Structure 1
Amino acid sequence: MQRYGSVVRLRPERQDEYLRLHADVWPAVLAQISRSNITNFSIFLRDGYLFSYYEYVGEDFAADMAAMAADSDTRRWWAITDACQERLDTAAAGEQWAPMTEVFHHA
């Protein structure tokens, strides 16, 4: 199992919409998350920043993420939710959510 954390800004004028969307995530999106071997997925909000955490339990991360990116329902979901977000200046080209470096873990 691998842990992943990432961060993005939430546009203040879109916060209510973003929270409303995540109060009722589309079942097809949730199913794809599971099919892509992601578990224990959470998104937290603080001071205009969204922090996501998930655990990957599969064997081929690149293939599972490609399958997620190819899913039509997930792509529609991302189009809506990405519009609520603002990439960090330090995010690499093509990154919506900027990966974070784990500096401590205690199991």
Structure 2
Amino acid sequence: MQRMGMVIGVKPEAIAEYRRLHATGSAEVNALLSACGVRNYSIYLREPENLLFGYWEYHGADWTADARRLDGEPAIRAWLGQTDPCQQPLASAGPGEWWSAMEEVFHLD
């Protein structure tokens, strides 16, 4: 199992919409994530800094392949078409980076 944490900005004017989208969610997207080994997935919002922190546990053998599979799924692409306009990459994000990966510096079971 691999723990993954990532962070991105959320546009202040889009917070209500982002909350609404996640309150109803997408059963199809959730099933696809589960099928690709994503478990224990949470997204946290930090205001007033307007940051989203995402955390999940990957229970698979090849995250690169599973991520590629997810990227090709029409339901995922449709979901991202709704959520991405609410978000904004960090100023420190690299070229083409949307959510910025974070380094795990501590864990307690």
TM-score bracket, normalised by the shorter chain, equals over 0.9
Moved over 3 A (4+): none
Give a deviation string over 1:66-106, Cα, whole Å, max 9, x none. Answer: 11000001011111101000100111222210001111111
* Identity rate, percent: 43
Give matches, 1:1-107, under 5 Å: 1-47=1-47, 48-107=50-109
Q: Which amino acid aligns with 2:26?
A: W
Give a deviation string over 1:32-85, Cα, whole Å, max 9, x none. Answer: 110110000000001210000000000111110011000001011111101000
Residue 83 of structure 1 aligns to a residue whose secondary structure is helix
Shift of the alpha carbon at 1:27?
A: 1.1
Structure 2 regions of 5+ residues with no counterpart? none
- Distance in 2 (CA, whole Å) between partners of 1:74 and 1:102 is 26
Structure 1 regions of 5+ residues with no counterpart? none
TM-score, L = length of structure 1: 0.97
How many equivalent pairs are there? Answer: 107
- Distance in 2 (CA, whole Å) between partners of 1:87 and 1:97 is 6
- Distance in 1 (CA, whole Å) between partners of 2:97 and 2:33 is 18
